[in-house]
């Protein structure tokens, strides 16, 4: 059974983000795809989403470099799932068919080639397929020296790309596009040109701000002195793809 997983903890994203992701998956994934949300709070999740406790990982209360290090819990040997898992961040929008994500280079760690580190071979884990319990040493090693490793590797996706010891591949570039790096018109065109919907993409990735709900309204939280280039018109196609 194809299995898609996501993760929600804390208050950064409401249950609505999980539900919208689930509905996008349901529209575009193969029939019978399982949808699992690892979370510390399952309230408000739609019927059809399988809530599960976040796999165990011990992180220091203080001193850790800021970032989504809890995502490393996906590599726990106690994840309770088998086979290849397709992970999606909550701030992505599914716009096309997902079946190929399960059959592309099976058994390998598949990632987006990170848009800001293309020459470094670093992956972006917003859309990631990996074998369940395929690299539990990532959790073991991080727990032993979390603070030092968090500053050595900057973020979770750099750490797992460099330390997974798994054969790694990158998705075809057209499958996963960045809202900011690939689609946003450059200043000053962003002041009058709408953000186009990518015709061949399967997933649009929102990193940081604007998030999908902000982009849909044409809002970009930013200091006043950055507003001239950090602004956009309402993204109308999100009304159909981020329901």
Residue with tokens 């998956």: 25
* Average pLDDT over the chain, rounded to an integer: 95
Asked if the model's pLDDT at residue 216 lies above 80, the reply is: yes
Q: What pLDDT band is residue 118 in, cutting at 50, 70 and 90?
A: confident
Residues 19, 22, 26, 28: is their CA dihedral positive or negative?
A: positive
| Residue 79 in tokens | 């994840």
Residue 119: the pLDDT is 73
The whole-angstrom separation of Cα 129 and Cα 216 is 28
The CATH number, out of the four listed (1.10.10.10, 3.40.50.620, 1.20.120.80, 3.90.550.10), of the domain defined by the range 3-170: 3.90.550.10
Give the SS3 label for residue 25.
helix
Q: What would the mean pLDDT of 26-39 be, rounded to a whole number?
A: 96
Q: What is the pLDDT of residues 58-116, one digit of tens each?
A: 999 999 999 999 999 999 999 999 999 999 999 999 999 999 999 999 989 999 999 98
Mean pLDDT score, 205-219:
96
How far out from the chain centre does Cα 136 lie? 20
**Token pair in block for residue 212:** 């999908």
At 224 the pLDDT is 87
Separation of alpha carbons 26 and 7, rounded Å: 17
Rounded distance, CA 134 to CA 189, Å? 45
Helix, strand, coil shares, percent, the chain, to 5: 30, 20, 50
Q: Identify the CA nearest to 181 among candidates 88, 111, 116, 95.
A: 116
Residue 4 confidence (pLDDT) above 80? yes
What is the spatial distance between Cα 114 and Cα 198, in angstroms, rounded to a whole number? 18
Query: Is 30 within 8 Å of 99 (Cβ atoms)?
Result: yes
User: How are beta strands 50-52 and 92-94 bridged, if at all?
Assistant: unpaired
pLDDT band at 30 (very low <50, low <70, confident <90, very high): very high
Q: What is the pLDDT of residue 120?
A: 82
Locate the domains of the chain by residue range. Answer: 3-170, 183-241
Locate 207 and state its tokens.
């990193």
Per-residue pLDDT averaged across 152-170, rounded? 95
- How much is the pLDDT for 121? 86
- Secondary element (H or E) of residue 176: strand 176-178
Q: Is 207 helix (H, G, I), strand (E, B) or coil?
A: coil
Sheet hosting strand 203-205, strand order edge to edge: 92-94, 203-205, 176-178
HSE, CB side, 13 Å, CA atoms: give it for residue 10. 7
Burial of residue 235 (CB within 10 Å: 0-12, 13-18, 19+) is buried
């Amino acid at each position: 059974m194809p299995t898609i997983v996501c993760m929600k903890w804390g208050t950064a994203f409401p249950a609505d983000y999980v539900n919208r992701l689930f509905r996008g998956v349901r529209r575009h994934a193969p029939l019978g795809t399982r949808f699992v949300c690892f979370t510390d709070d399952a309230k408000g999740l739609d019927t059809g989403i399988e809530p599960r406790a976040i796999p165990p990982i011990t992180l220091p209360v203080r001193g850790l470099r800021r970032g989504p290090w809890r995502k490393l819990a996906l590599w726990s040997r106690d994840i309770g799932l088998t086979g290849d898992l397709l992970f999606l961040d909550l701030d992505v929008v599914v716009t096309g068919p997902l079946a190929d994500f399960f059959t592309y280079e099976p058994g390998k760690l598949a990632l987006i080639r990170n848009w800001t580190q293309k020459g470094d071979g670093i992956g972006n884990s917003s859309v990631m397929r990996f074998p369940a319990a395929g690299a539990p040493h990532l959790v073991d090693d991080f727990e032993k020296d979390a603070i030092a490793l968090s500053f050595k590797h900057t973020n979770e996706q750099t750490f797992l790309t460099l330390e997974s010891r798994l054969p790694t591949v990158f998705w075809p570039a057209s499958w996963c596009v960045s809202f900011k790096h690939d689609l946003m018109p450059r200043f000053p065109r962003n002041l009058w040109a709408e953000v186009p919907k990518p015709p061949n993409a399967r997933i649009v990735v929102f990193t940081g701000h604007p998030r999908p709900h902000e982009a849909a309204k044409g809002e970009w939280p930013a200091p006043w002195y950055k507003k001239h280039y950090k602004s956009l018109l309402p993204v109308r196609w999100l009304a159909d793809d981020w329901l």
